[in-house]
Chain A
Amino acid sequence: MSLLELHNINKTFGPLKALTDLSFTVGHSEVVGLLGDNGAGKSTTVNMISGIHQPSSGYISVDGQRQTFANRRDSAEAGIETIYQNTALVDCLSISRNIFLGRELTDRFGFLDLKKMREIAMQVLESAVHISGIDSPDKMVGDLSGGQKQAVAIARAVFFKRRVLLLDEPTSALSVRETEALLNQVLKLKAEGVSSVLVTHNLYHAYQVCDRFVIMSHGTKVFDVAKADTTIEELTQQVVLT
């Protein structure tokens, strides 16, 4: 049984048909590349899995259980976390306050247990693949680089026991070195049993880490192939020509 499954999903925005009969699966400990050109429907798909949009017909299931995600909290509770480029963290708060944003550790009156939050944040930073340059959880997130921010967001998701990470264009703003670190982090998480979906334009980055590729065009799936059965040339052709 697959971890995450989309079953015959259609989505319309008024007269606009965004998704047509879309089905694909994400297995346990699997990294899936969701590829496609602009306007192929990748973002709508991500927003649907994370609970921002609801399918017009069809449904999503997790561990075979049918789910209705009314908002992002629902999908998070099912173990899915979406990490967007710009909306992952709040720049003007420290790392530890970001990690616990919305799930603060407090006493009965709502006052923060800063000491405990700091301790756990330290653990979270340690447990993630070494995030270079972060020495203290008191650092402002605004002072981190794009790659460090994403690493913190991923570490947070993992700490809160998410099992599927949806990474939306994760490498588009990263340096070469940061991209390597991020892709390594994805692989390490896979070894620990966390699946990932990489939504990206960049076939080379996807080819480096993904076990399977789902290519979308005009709101539906046009190609679904395991890495062993394809080449990067074939993937490029599928993205460009369909």
Chain B
Amino acid sequence: MGVRQSDVYCDNWIQNVTDMTHDRAVAPRRSAGEWLHSLLSMPAGAILLLFLVVQLGCIVAGLLFPDDFRYLSSANMGIMMRSVPVLGCLALGAGVLMIAGEFDLSIGSVYTLTAVIMALLVGVGVDAFIAAPVGLLIGATIGLGNGFLTLKFNLPSFIVTLGGLLFWRGAVLLINGAVQVRFDPNPVFNALFSGTIFGINAAFIWFIALCLVFWAMLHRHRLGNHIFATGGNRAAATAIGVNTGRIKMIAFAIAGFMAAFAGILATTRVGSVQPGQGAGLELQAIAACVIGGLSLRGGRGSILGVFLGVMLIFTITDVLLLMRAPGFYLDMFIATLIVAASIFNHGLDRRGAES
């Protein structure tokens, strides 16, 4: 393109920028309805709104009835902060993989397996700072294995990782039998993963930090762009030169790695590993992702959504516990939330496809 032409573009562009700044100056005067509409059309906007409404309701109720509804008590906040990170880390890994267009049902079993191996290593005298990376490495390797089988034989990852779920669950029993393993790391390790800093639980700080890292990776880094493209339209991504097989392998490895990391957090908090502790967690992690607006078909979602999905599950759990509701209400509530969230997201998907 010639010099003069590009000058014209440049002028046009400046004109456009001026228009945009003008628009922006007008923007704050929008009505509440428009503001609500723009919030709802934002990725994870609806879930953010729901989360804020639930939080507001809980805080108001907590202030009005401080004795009957102890939502704001420091004990309750402490419990929340300690319980969120394990599912949160699992969901971050599962979420990235879902956006890349694949599933991992084996993360619950991998979570238990790596925790057992780490605890056994520490039991025979290996330092926890060596045992923990070994666990993370095993998690990532199992993830890569799932990815290899899925891509090499062109299988649905649902089937491959369903196999993984059963296989590694059995492996836990093979390695250690159906007994719990004590985990007794050095105090520094304990402080780093289950201590308290400025009144905030260390595991929760890890979770928030990982959310930020994942946000930067997924929404601000080239890798994230390729992950969204791979899950959104694999043929188009391949056509433009993205190595979609490699991207999926990376996403599988991340899912396995995060499962192992969740294992470290859970084991350090409790001080032991139960062989059955991971059962069902993979489904909860996927549920959190679905509630957070991730599409089962891949390509859609955000880290904010995953974070809010996890937080919402735990807030509702917490509210029901504080109201002393029987446990089965919990499952029914979460189930309703999942289905409602996917109806809503499906509506968004369809609207996108039609226009």
Contact = CB atoms under 8 A, between A and B. Distances in A.
Contacts of A84: 239
A90 B229 contact: yes
B319 interface: no
Contact of A93 (B10, B13, B232): B232
B242 interface: yes
Given A127-B1, A140-B352, A102 B228 contact: no
Given A87-B233, A122-B13, A101 B242 contact: yes
B9 A126 contact: yes
A89 interface: yes
Contacts of B221: 106, 110-112
B9 A90 contact: no
Interface in A88-118: 88-93, 97, 100-104, 106, 110-112, 114
B1 A93 contact: no
B12 interface: yes
Contacts of A127: 1, 5, 9
A106 B222 contact: yes
Contacts, number: 91
Contacts of A93: 225, 228-229, 232
A76 interface: yes
Contacts of A89: 233, 236
Interface in B202-248: 216, 220-223, 225-226, 228-229, 231-233, 235-237, 239-242
Contacts of A76: 241
Given A92-B300, A143-B352, A102 B242 contact: yes
B299 interface: yes
Q: Is the interface of B mostly helix, strand, loop or mixed?
A: helix
A64 interface: no
A70 B237 CA distance: 17
Contacts of A92: 228, 231-233, 299-300
A17 interface: no
A73 B231 CA distance: 21
A63 interface: no
Given A91-B352, A97-B225, A126 B12 contact: yes
Contact of B237 (A101, A110, A123, A145): A101
B197 interface: no
Nearest to B229: A90
A98 to B, nearest CB: 8
Given A127-B9, A142-B352, A101 B220 contact: no
B134 to A, nearest CB: 28
Contacts of B353: 91, 142
Contact of A72 (B13, B226, B241): B241
Interface in A193-229: none
B196 interface: no
B16 interface: yes
A164 to B, nearest CB: 16
Contacts of B299: 90-92
Contacts of A111: 216, 220-222
Contact of A101 (B10, B12, B229): B229
Interface size class of A (residues with CB under 8 A): 20 to 34
Contacts of B232: 90-93
Interface in A133-172: 140, 142-143, 145
B355 interface: yes
Given A87-B236, A93-B232, A143-B352, A73 B241 contact: yes
A21 interface: no
Given A91-B233, A123-B9, A126-B16, A110 B222 contact: yes
Contact of A119 (B13, B222, B242): B13
Contact of B236 (A90, A97, A106, A119): A90
B296 to A, nearest CB: 13
Contacts of B220: 111-112, 114
Given A76-B241, A101-B237, A90 B228 contact: yes
Contacts of A143: 352, 355
A86 interface: yes
A97 B225 CA distance: 7
Contacts of A145: 355
A83 B236 CA distance: 10
Nearest to A144: B355
Contacts of A112: 220-222, 225
Interface string B1-17: 10001000110110010
B16 A122 contact: yes
Nearest to A119: B13
Given A86-B233, A90-B228, A91-B299, 17 more contacts: A72-B240, A90-B229, A90-B299, A91-B232, A91-B233, A92-B228, A93-B225, A101-B225, A101-B240, A106-B221, A112-B220, A123-B10, A126-B9, A126-B12, A126-B13, A126-B16, A142-B353
Nearest 5 A-B pairs (CB), nearest first?
A92-B232, A92-B299, A142-B352, A87-B235, A102-B240
20 contacts: A72-B241, A87-B233, A87-B236, A87-B239, A88-B239, A90-B233, A92-B299, A92-B300, A93-B228, A93-B229, A101-B225, A101-B226, A101-B240, A104-B222, A106-B222, A110-B222, A110-B223, A126-B12, A140-B352, A192-B1
